[in-house]
Structure 1
Amino acid sequence: MTFLPLRVSPRADARLLSGLLTSRLASDWTTRVRGVYDMFTPAHLLSEKSTYFNVGYWTTGAETYDRAQEALADLLAEAADIRPGSTVLDCGFGFGDQGFRWLAERKPHQIFGVNISQHQVAAARDRARREDARGQLFFQLASATDLPFPDGCFDHVVCLESAMHYRPRALFFREAFRVLRPGGTLAIADIVPLPGGGPRAAFRAPALDWIRSAVDDRNWHDRDVYAGELGTAGFRTVQVRSIRDRAWEPWLACIVRTVQDPAFGQRVSTLYHQMLKRATADLAELRSDLARLDYVLASAVKPGAAV
C-alpha cells in the first residue's frame, strides 16, 4: 500500500453535500441509502492508506484506523473461511478494499462484488484495471436483495457492514442461501441494537443520523432475532457473536484523536473536517447512543456436502 495523495477538491465537497441531502430527504429507499455512500470520496475518509470507512476491529485500541479496517476484513474472511481457489460474492463492497486484500492474502479464484452506488462501482473497477485484477475481481451495480446470479454458484457470500441497510435483511439472507453452493458459507459484519436498545428514532447523535434515515425497521432487532432469521432462511451452524467491545469505543476514540490532529485538517477538506467536529462535539450524547448499539460477526452454512 502507498499513501494516498492530498485529497481536497470543490467537486468532492459538492458530492458530500449532495449525498448528505439525498440521504435525509429522498423518498425512494434505494436513492436514500445510495446517498449515504455516494457522499464519501477519498477526500472524506478517516483512512490514510486505504478507502475503507467501516467501524473496524481494534485489538489494542491504539492501532491506526487503516489497520483496524484490515483487521475487520481479515476477521470476516476467517468467519467465511475463504480459501484458495474458491469463488466469493461480496455484497455492499464499498470501494472494494477488502476484495483486493482477500485476493492477495487468501488467494480465492474470483471475487464478485455488488453495490448500489455507481460511484463506488466505478472506483473499484478503476482500481481493478490499474492493478490488472479484472480477471479475478468483478464489480457491478446490483442489489443484494435481488442478486443477478444463478443458484448455487458461490462458495462464500460475505457482507462487510452494509446489511443493516437492506430492505429487508431477511430477503438478503434468502438470496445468499440461493446463490451459495451446498456447504457454502455466509459471513457478515453488521450493526444491530443491543437488547432493549430502543427505537431508531431515539438516536440523537449527528454521527448516527444514518440509523434514523437509512435502516429499515424490519432490521432493527438484536442478535438473537438475527440468528433466528438466518435459521429461517435455511442456514445451519449459525453463529452470531458480539464484538462491540472491540468496535465502538475504540472507533470513537480514533475519530476524536484524528479530528484533533492538525495533519488531518490539512489532508481533508475544511467542510468535512467541520462536519466531523460537529459530529463529535457532544461526546456524552454520542456515547449514550453507542451504548445501545451492538456490533456482530455472523456466520452460517448452507446444508449439504461441499463440492
Structure 2
Amino acid sequence: MGRVLAVCVSPQKGTQKQNVGSARFLPNWGIEGDAHAGTWHRQVSLLSHEQVEAFRARGAVVDHGAFGENLVVEGFDCKALPVGTRLRCGSVVLELTQIGKECHAHCAIYQAMGECIMPREGVFARVLRGGTISVGDELTILEGGIPMRAAILTLSDSGAAGRREDQSGPVIRELLEAAGYEVVHTALLPDGREPLASELRRLCDGDLADLVLTTGGTGFSPRDLTPEATLEVVERPAPGIAEAMRWHSLQITPRAMLSRAAAGIRKGALIVNLPGSPKAVRECLEFLLPTLAHGLEVLKGTGGECAR
C-alpha cells in the first residue's frame, strides 16, 4: 500500500508542475487541466518519494513536480512494478504503460546535478477509471480485474419521508456484493419522474457507476413513474432485459404481467428497473445477474460479442 504525497499539474508543457493538492482524473485522458493529458499512453506520470529523497540527499534542491511528475507516491518502488499493473486510489484506476523514458533535452535539474531521476525512475500510466485524487489518499495495487461499480436507487414516497424502512435495497446490495460488484452509491428517492431522472443522469454522465438498479415504482399507481423516468434518460433501450424478467416472474405469479419495468443504456452505464418487493427483487436479480455480467463486459469493452 502506498500514499499520495503530491498531486502536480502544469497548464503548459515545458513548465514545472506545481503541487495543487487535489485534481480530477478523467478516463482515457489524464488530469484535468494538465498539459500532458490526452488520448495517448502517457497520461499520468508517477515518481517514488523514496527516490526523490535519495536524490535530495545527494544535494539536489527540488520541489514536488520539478521532474515533471504528476503523482509523488510513498511506499512503492514505481519502476519495479511491471507494465500492465493497475493501481487504485479511491475511485480512480490507473494502468502502468511505460517505465522510464528517453530524455532528449536535458532539464535544469540535469544541468545542475549531471543527472535526472525521471528518465530511469519515473513511470507512466493511463486512466482507466476517473475520479479525484488528493494528497494523503491511499494507493493500492489492484489484483485481478476491475470490479464493476453498482448504484442502488430505491423509489418510495413513504421511505423517502422516513415512514417506511427500505427492505429491497439491502437485498440488492447483498446479491451484488456476492457477485463481485462494488456498490458505490445507494439512495432512497420519492416516487415520481424528475428526482429519479436527475439522479440517473448524474450517475451515468459522471461515470459514477457501471450498473444502476432501481427498485419500486414499476406498477400501476399514479406515482409509479420509474419506467417513464428511465426511458426519458436512456440513449439505447434494452427491452430484452425487462421482457426476460417478466417472463421469469410469470413462472411464479401471473401478477408479473402488471410490471412496467424498463431497461436501457446511457453513456457507459446500464440501467435496470427491478420490482419493489424484497422477494420479487431476489427472484429477478438472481435470474438476471449471470447474463447482465456478460452484457456489461461488452458495454465496457472488456468482453467479446455473443457470436464469438
Please give the range of the TM-score, normalised by the shorter of the 2 chains.
Answer: under 0.3
User: Which has the higher relative contact order, 1 or 2, with Cα contacts under 8 A spaced 6 or more apart?
Assistant: 1
| TM-score, normalised relative to structure 2 | 0.26
Which is richer in strand? 2
| TM-score, normalised relative to structure 1 | 0.26
Which is richer in helix? 1
